[in-house]
Amino acid sequence: MTNSNRIRLTWISFFSYALTGALVIVTGMVMGDIAGYFNLPVSRMSNTFTFLNAGILISIFLNAWLMEIVPLKTQLRFGFLLMLLAVAGLMLGHNLTIFSASMFVLGLVSGITMSIGTFLITHLYEGRQRGSRLLFTDSFFSMAGMIFPILAAFLLARSIEWYWVYACIGLVYVAIFLLTFGSEFPALGKHAAQSDQPVVKEKWGPGVLFLSIAAMCYILGQLGFISWVPEYAKTLGMNLHDAGQLVSNFWMSYMFGMWAFSVILRFFDLQRLLTVLAALACALMYGFITSSTDHMPLFILALGFFSSAIYTSVITLASLQTRVASPKLVNVVLTCGTIGTMLTFVVTGPIVAHSGPQAALFTANGLYAVVFVMCFLLGFVSRHRQLRDSVTRMPH
């Protein structure tokens, strides 16, 4: 593979994460305007965004098999047509059914591109470099999550209709579409057989189970925590601005952490570092919940920084459990993480209704403790060191 082709595929991966980040994080900015557009209460309008999450979950799950049937370039180009249809549906359709269908299609497109982007990074890079590259790729999710809410606020403040925000997000996919021209993608499944690439089938081992549980518990814990931080802060007497600032500080620190750990990961064993980070994140979250309002900003900044590398390290370690990075394996772990997203309010909503927002935060803390246990147990069964050593011993 030429270096220029590798760079193009890497940028496709970057933009795939930016697309998902923009679609997921911009929701809170536009929800009120969309509710007003359809003359619905915000509480009911929020339920329709489940179609977006459902689309992401279904496409990531199915793409574990589709990637071996439909070439990656074909999927991305077909996704461009789906993106055009979805944005057109949002702009031209004036009823809730079309809106819900369009959000579902946006979720499908987002899930397809994100699963392809993740696989490309695990295929293009090896060992510790894979972890650092995947972490840097994930930072585009956070960058889009910072840029597009600002863009949405700019447009909405000038009385520009909310659907133009999604038209702007669609430009990210235009970049992906243009990068597919002249790019050569890895062949998988029957296409790999036709191109004389060996098809390798390996047993995954128990480490993949531990990592899948860790992925689901981490995302469920993270979103369950950050979703209820503002409500918890208000119960302690903080005003809405200061409560919102805690969330902003978390994501800002999270992004800086991703950049820092994309370098740090190269110098440490991934499983050992992941176990330490999971333990630190668990302790810092507990510190945040039990501290005074004066110390909460410090705890949440530290939590954002030290937890930023956990999810991508989980995905990277999963991809290193086999000699050749398996798209099915990567997508299974991604699917488990997305299930965590889907369960966020299903799990935390009743807890808050019964016991208040602090109980939801302690639940999230318990989930982080599960992540630590899974990462610790992984140390006894992980194959990444064994496979790394076997590769270094091979004659060149």
- pLDDT score, position 15: 94
d(CA 385, CA 312): 18
- pLDDT score, position 394: 40
- Token readout for 118 is 């993740």
Which of residues 143 and 160 earns the better pLDDT score? 160
Helix (H) / strand (E) containing 355: helix 327-355
In this prediction, residue 314 has a pLDDT band, given cuts at 50, 70 and 90, of: very high
331-to-102, 127, 141, 204 alpha-carbon distances in Å: 24, 19, 18, 13
Question: Which of the residue ranges 69-83, 86-100, 215-229, 237-251 would you say has the lowest mean pLDDT?
Answer: 237-251
301-to-139, 283, 296 alpha-carbon distances in Å: 16, 13, 9
Question: Which of the residue ranges 72-81, 83-92, 99-108, 195-204 would you say has the lowest mean pLDDT?
Answer: 195-204
Q: How many Cα atoms within 13 Å fall on the side-chain side of residue 79?
A: 34
Q: Provide the residue ranges of all domains of the chain, joining segments of one domain with +.
A: 3-194, 206-393
In this prediction, residue 32 has a pLDDT band, given cuts at 50, 70 and 90, of: confident
- pLDDT score, position 396: 36
Segment 192-212 mean pLDDT = 70
In this prediction, residue 297 has a pLDDT band, given cuts at 50, 70 and 90, of: very high
- The values of phi and psi at residue 313, to 5°, are -65, -35
- pLDDT score, position 390: 46
CA 252 to chain centre: 16
CA nearest to 266, candidates 80, 373, 376, 135: 135
Do the two domains 3-194 and 206-393 of this chain adopt the same fold? yes
- pLDDT score, position 16: 93
pLDDT of 149 higher than 90: no
In this prediction, residue 391 has a pLDDT band, given cuts at 50, 70 and 90, of: very low
- pLDDT score, position 82: 95
32-to-23, 29, 37, 156 alpha-carbon distances in Å: 16, 7, 9, 11
Residues 71-82 as b or e (16 or more Cβ within 10 Å = b): bbeebbeebbee
In this prediction, residue 395 has a pLDDT band, given cuts at 50, 70 and 90, of: very low
Segment 211-235 mean pLDDT = 90
CATH of domain 206-393: 1.20.1250.20
Q: Which CATH number fits domain 3-194: 3.40.50.150, 2.40.40.20, 1.20.1250.20, 1.50.10.10?
A: 1.20.1250.20
Residues 122-139 pLDDT 10s: 888 876 677 778 778 888
| Count of Cβ atoms closer than 10 Å to residue 38 Cβ | 13
Taking the chain, what is the end-to-end CA distance rounded to the nearest angstrom?
Answer: 18
